[in-house]
Amino acid sequence: MLHVRRLDHFGVDVADLARAERFYTGLLGMSVEMHLPDQVLLRYGDGNCALFLKPGRAPGGLDQIENPLGKSHHAFEVSHEDLGRALQLFKAEGIPHHAPIDWGDHDCLYFLDPDGNLLELVGYRQVGGR
């Protein structure tokens, strides 16, 4: 049996690399590690994200955030305060999102990137999360 240590990186298919880079760096605060002809490698906290150019990729639909539970997505932990700021920012910027969901010890906020990829922010009410 193997023992996975941690998630090294995840990949996201996008139709426009520059637009996706602006979203992930400008909104989520990721930093650019490397540009390649068909991808951008990003860094956040102790993780990495690869944006893969897929020209002609059809964007995901708004139906993903109407009922986001149980759908494939990527979730990022933020402070509970940042979760509140994100909600205000999403409203101001017109970013499609679901109302916050209360899970008892944390809240989550599902939203879509410009390519319709379902993402989630998780904010624990206590320092240290779980």
pTM across the whole model: 0.91
For 100, list phi and psi in degrees, rounded to 5.
Answer: -55, 145
Query: What superfamily in CATH does domain 1-57 come from?
Result: 2,3-Dihydroxybiphenyl 1,2-Dioxygenase, domain 1 (3.10.180.10)
Q: How confident is the model over 69-88, as pLDDT tens digits?
A: 899 999 999 999 999 999 99
Residue in the block written with tokens 């939203």: 111
pLDDT value for 4 = 82
Q: What percent of the chain has pLDDT over 70?
A: 97
79-108: buried (b, 16+ CB within 10 Å) or exposed (e) per residue? eeebbeebbeebeeeebbbbebeeeeebbb
Instruction: State the first-to-last Cα distance of the chain, in angstroms, to the nearest integer.
Output: 26
pLDDT value for 73 = 94
pLDDT value for 128 = 55
56-66: buried (b, 16+ CB within 10 Å) or exposed (e) per residue? eeeebeeebbe
Fold designation for 58-130: 2,3-Dihydroxybiphenyl 1,2-Dioxygenase; domain 1 (3.10.180)
3-state class of 63 per DSSP? helix
Mean pLDDT, range 2-23, rounded to an integer: 93
Q: How confident is the model over 25-83, as pLDDT tens digits?
A: 999 999 999 999 999 999 999 999 999 999 988 888 889 899 898 999 999 999 999 99
For CATH 3.10.180.10, list the domain ranges present in the chain: 1-57, 58-130
**How sure is the predictor about 5, in pLDDT bands with cuts at 50, 70 and 90?**
confident
